[in-house]
Structure 1
Amino acid sequence: MSSVSRFLAILMIAGACAQQAPAQAATPALPHTLRVCADPNNLPYSNEQKQGFENQIADLIAKDFNMNVEYLWFRQGEKFFKRTLNSCLCDIVMGVPTGFDEAATTKPYYRSTYVFITRRSDHLDITSLDDPRLRTVRIGVHILGDANDSTPPVHALIRRGIVKNLVGYSIFGNLNEKNPPADVIHALEDGKVDVAIVWGPLGGYFSRNASVPLSITPIEADSKHPDIPFQFDIGIGVRERDAGWRDLLDHELDRRQADIDRILKNYGIPPAERPVQAARAGGEVGRTQ
């Protein structure tokens, strides 16, 4: 592509963004379509069949705004935000941790935590990362494919010298695999691991229909390593410049919080209480400006 062609392409993208995305004004004029970028194979959050809880929440918001929902399906990965939201291909991304550095976020509409999951018949009842049995049992964890980008439980276990008995399962899987995050739960069902330590929404959802009864215990914090967070606030991702649109969504989330809570409960999402200080700061949490 010539330099002139590249320049014209950039102008076309910028023009499309300005015309289709909600404006920066305090009360943006809403288009007829709410464009949502989402992963096509990422239950319990979203899939192409629109069976995820994020699909339901997006539908709820769009209905209130008298908008139709249009999805751009894009597999979540390293460049997801650069190629979707920040390329003006959509207006929102559901389920973004507040404080995320690639997008601004609304106030959180839920907070969850990592959890221990065990087979109920084993009566392990593990409630702490310092439980000595974690040094001998087989522990299933999600891996992200990069040793420097491990999940909080993996960091916490490695700091304790618990490494050899960790069994990693890819959270992304391959393109043809259905529900890859469920693999670690299936391993627990089949006896390939004794404990799974996973993000609560994944654990809660995929444990509901397990072939054996499972017990779920929230991890509130790591007493030895308080710098490792286990609980996260989750909001809606928007472009940093779209302050008016973000504020409008904040009001909508406030108004619909009870309905959103019911959706989350129906999907087995374990809630976590927000710290008092964070709760007081509510409106400012997660904003990047």
Structure 2
Amino acid sequence: MHPPSSRNAAIALLTALFSLAAPASAETELRVCADPDNLPFSNRNQEGFENKIAALLADDLQAKLSFYWQKQRQGFIRETLGAGHCDVVMGVPHGYERVRATPPYYRSGYAFVTPAGRHLDISSFDDPRLRDLKIGLHAIGNDGANSPPAHALASRGIVENIVGYSMWGEESQANPQGEIVSAVANGEIDLAVVWGPIAGYFAKPYGNAIQVAPVPADSASPEMPFAFDIALGVRKDDQALADRLAASLTRKRPEIQAILAAYRVPIIQPIVGSTPSATDSVAANH
């Protein structure tokens, strides 16, 4: 075997250097942990606003986009992000202790959903009419009563007129998250207290027939948050990815805001930014 020519040696050297400098394939792929049936956030057809924002960020980062699908049940973070199947969760409350969060990209809260024609105009949990109205709530925890609205109503003894709706539904049920809004439109319940992005999205087909109004902080429990800064979450030790995503969020902010508006996500200003609230906890959708 003859020794390589100087030209071949130079090519070999450049190839070696390029292989060292080029990013690994994992670094050029944005692997997103997502629920396959959780509109308006995500679904397998990539119709949710988190799917759209993930595609926007992947394009900005010149990365291939892929989704790891898993139902958002107990253990979701551990079994997706923690198990290494994917690298980013598109919606976590800023300050959530199980992930490293980017700066938040939107802030939203709970909403009162009522039939516009009845002019209920509920604006507080202290409204005495709430004792007589049939109120819909999402049952989202093991006890079915752990959301801030459930606590606010229970603390006032408003429990007998509560109607619970599953956040997840049966496997065969399409868009179970929206059933509670349909119940308001159909007159099955008088009003619902719903996480804002769900309320805005599922009220949209009903046009002006459904009113969506923000829920203010509970005067009886001011320490309990009703609004949350929502961020992207990565593994705690993945500072590099968090930084790349944070920069991309900044660059693509106008486009992200347009996507949120198209999905009628109720936005609360200001977004707190990099300083999480001490009382932040997991919002209803995650």
TM-score (norm 2): 0.85
Q: Which protein is bigger by CA-based radius of gyration?
A: 2
Match of 2:182 among 173, 181, 186: 186
Per-residue deviation, residues 121-142 of structure 1 (Å, max 9, x unmatched): 1110111111110110000010
Q: Check the 8 A contact 1:107/1:286 in 2, yes or no.
A: no
How does 1:157-196 map onto structure 2 within 5 Å? Answer: 157-196=153-192
Runs of 5+ consecutive residues of structure 2 not aligned to the other structure: 1-22, 279-286
- Larger deviation: 28-37 or 220-229? 28-37
Distance in 2, matches of 1:101 and 1:286, equals: 12
Q: Name the structure 1 match of 2:266.
A: 270
Match of 1:119 among 90, 115, 119: 115
Q: Is residue 84 of structure 2 the alignment partner of residue 81 of structure 1?
A: no
Distance in 2, matches of 1:114 and 1:145, equals: 17
Sequence identity (%): 44
Q: Check the 8 A contact 1:84/1:90 in 2, yes or no.
A: yes
Q: Name the structure 2 match of 1:13.
A: none
Which ranges of 4 or more aligned residues in structure 1 deviate by more than 2 Å?
Answer: 28-32, 282-287
CA displacement at 1:114 relative to structure 2? 0.2
CA displacement at 1:145 relative to structure 2? 4.2
How does 1:1-289 map onto structure 2 within 5 Å? Answer: 31-147=27-143, 150-210=146-206, 213-274=209-270, 279=272, 282-285=273-276
Q: Which amino acid aligns with 2:44?
A: E
CA displacement at 1:283 relative to structure 2? 2.8
Residues 95 and 143 (structure 1), Cα distance of their counterparts in 2 relative to 1, 3 Å cut: same
Q: Name the structure 2 match of 1:5.
A: none
RMSD in angstroms over aligned alpha carbons?
Answer: 1.8
CA displacement at 1:117 relative to structure 2? 0.7
Q: Check the 8 A contact 1:106/1:286 in 2, yes or no.
A: no
- Larger deviation: 229-238 or 241-250? 241-250
Aligned length: 255
Q: Check the 8 A contact 1:143/1:169 in 2, yes or no.
A: yes
SS for the counterpart of 2:50 is helix
Q: Which amino acid aligns with 2:110?
A: Y
Distance in 1, matches of 2:200 and 2:116, equals: 14
Q: Which amino acid aligns with 1:221?
A: A
SS for the counterpart of 2:159 is coil
Distance in 2, matches of 1:105 and 1:262, equals: 22
Q: Which amino acid aligns with 1:258?
A: P
SS for the counterpart of 1:283 is coil
TM-score (norm 1): 0.84
